[in-house]
């Protein structure tokens, strides 16, 4: 029996990288999974297909996570389609880098709107369900750069730090209803986004100089921790930020 057998989950940003790994691992461990995507429809549909091949229910929704009304509608629809909702994993995010003295208002607003407001939007939709049923799991994917800050990423670092505050405050509010809310903070993970980065070699070498295990993380290594936090084996863990970074932030 899987760690999340029979549970119903939503994973935002599930079409690529870490989000795909989380979606597939939750399904392998027994969950039905609805995933969101913004601009990779073929990849999202392929993830949903793989989940369905495991004998689970799955659907892929194209959505802008910063759109409050659309997220409320989607969560209600998934809960109706699946016959309930037990797990929310907020992972969808973006970066639009720049040093603070050159950063535009648009850069700031867009990154905060997706990375932080997007998490609020989904939590706002899911927490009434979890509160009423007296159970539920939320895992927010943040970053070690929300803990330490990153040169050239004031907007991204601020959004990821905000996710940590959001996680801890929600954990205090929902604890009395037996809802566990935690965050996972990856370091540099080997994803398609990294592979396509024109500065990949420089970024990778800088990270490897910090990572005590001497290698980049893999998406599934983040997914395994997320699935654990979504399971009853983590029922006495809440309000925590677990770094998955090979010792990069230490």
Q: Could you list the active site residues?
A: 156
User: For tokens 């939750």, what's the residue?
Assistant: 26
DSSP 3-state of 11: strand
User: For tokens 């109706």, what's the residue?
Assistant: 80
Closest CA to 94 of 62, 59, 118, 60: 118
Give, in order, the Cα–Cα distances in Å from 134 to each of 27, 176, 177.
23, 8, 5
- Give the CA angle between residues 192, 50, 95 to the nearest 5°: 30
Element (H, E) at 34: strand 32-37
Task: DSSP for 132-191, please give it.
Answer: HHT-EEEEEE--THHHH--TTBHHHHHHHHHHHHHHHHHHHHHGGGTEEEEEEEE-SB--
232 DSSP 8-state letter = G
């Amino acid at each position: 029996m899987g760690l999340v057998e029979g549970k119903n989950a939503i994973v935002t940003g599930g079409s690529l990288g870490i989000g795909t790994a989380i979606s597939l691992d939750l399904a392998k461990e027994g969950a039905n999974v609805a995933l969101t995507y913004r601009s990779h429809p073929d990849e999202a549909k392929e993830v949903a297909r793989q989940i369905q091949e495991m004998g689970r229910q799955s659907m892929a929704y194209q959505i802008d996570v910063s759109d409050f009304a659309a997220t409320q509608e989607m969560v209600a629809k998934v809960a109706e389609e699946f016959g309930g909702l037990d797990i929310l994993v907020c992972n969808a995010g973006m970066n639009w880098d720049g040093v603070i003295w050159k950063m535009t208002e648009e850069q700031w607003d867009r990154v905060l709107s997706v990375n932080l407001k997007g998490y609020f939007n989904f939590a706002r939709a899911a927490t009434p369900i979890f509160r009423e049923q007296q159970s539920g799991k939320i895992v927010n994917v943040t970053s070690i750069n929300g803990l330490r800050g990153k040169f050239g990423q004031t907007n991204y670092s601020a959004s990821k730090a905000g996710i940590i505050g959001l996680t801890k405050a929600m954990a205090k509010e929902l604890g009395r209803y037996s809802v566990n809310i935690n965050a996972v903070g990856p370091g540099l993970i080997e994803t398609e986004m990294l592979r396509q980065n024109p500065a990949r070699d420089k970024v990778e070498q800088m990270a490897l100089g910090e990572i005590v295990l001497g290698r980049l993380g893999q998406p599934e290594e983040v997914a395994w921790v997320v699935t654990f936090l979504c399971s009853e084996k983590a029922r006495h863990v809440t309000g925590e930020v677990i770094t998955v970074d090979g010792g990069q932030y230490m």
